[in-house]
A and B are shown apart, each in its own frame.
Chain A
């Protein structure tokens, strides 16, 4: 079974530029997550999709970050304009929604991440 795919793996940009990250979840997984992992910290959830609908975007800085999952499969996360503090690893994860189970029980499977450096 193929895992979660992400691209690019690395990106270097200057502040105020824009950048986009792509994620393809595990086939059949309805729920997709974007996390931000700053060096020395654990991942922090930015946004959660179920199919193509947003479930939770309460921690997404909406003035500069946006995300979409138009066909309920792959997803794009965009930052515009980037700031120095956006330097981090951006992780995508997916999970399988199983009818009848509490959502919190689901295992999330992570991609390799995109390492962003903003200069």
Chain B
């Protein structure tokens, strides 16, 4: 069965500094990897996904993620964090069957 680990409960970063949210996964076969963001009282919003090809994936709002097969990781990054990036971030993995397995989420706090 597939699973996702997001090891940090909360990530604090100063506005303007680089933001990294970590994700490692376990899945049989080729992984399809996703990042979603959730704002308070809102549903999940899609940020980006890795299917195949270039290991660096660019997504919405200036976010990008790097797929590392040897380390089974898919860390989310943003070069310069904004206060508006403060939210809950979820990593998810899907095998062929499309049952997404989500991590527990990381709360990101961007400090002005």
Nearest neighbor of B34 in chain A, beta-carbon distance: A107
The residue from B46, B96, B102, B103 contacting A104, defined by CB atoms under 8 A apart: B96
Chain B residues with CB under 8 A of A104: 32, 94-98
Instruction: State A40–B44 Cα separation when bound (angstroms).
Output: 14
Interface flags, A83-119, vs B, CB<8A=1, else 0: 0000000010101000000111111111111010000
Q: Please, what's the 1-or-0 string for B43-86, where 1 marks a CB less than 8 Å from any CB in chain A?
A: 11110010100000000000000000000000000000000000
Query: Which partner residue on chain B sits nearest A31 by CB separation?
Result: B98
- In the bound assembly, the distance between CA atoms of A109 and B43 in angstroms comes to 9
Cβ-neighbour of B46 out of A48, A56, A102, A109 (below 8 A): A109
> Do residues B99 and A48 form an inter-chain contact, with CB atoms below 8 A?
yes
Which residues of B sit under 8 angstroms from A108, Cβ to Cβ?
A: 46, 100
Q: Are A103 and B98 in contact (CB under 8 A)?
A: yes
| Main DSSP-derived SS at the A contact region | mixed
Residues of B within 8 A of A (CB): 4, 32, 34, 36, 41-46, 49, 51, 90, 92, 94-100, 102-105
Known: A6-B43, A112-B42. 17 other contacts (CB 8 A): A42-B90, A42-B92, A42-B103, A42-B105, A43-B90, A56-B97, A102-B32, A103-B98, A104-B95, A104-B97, A104-B98, A105-B49, A106-B98, A110-B44, A112-B41, A113-B43, A115-B41
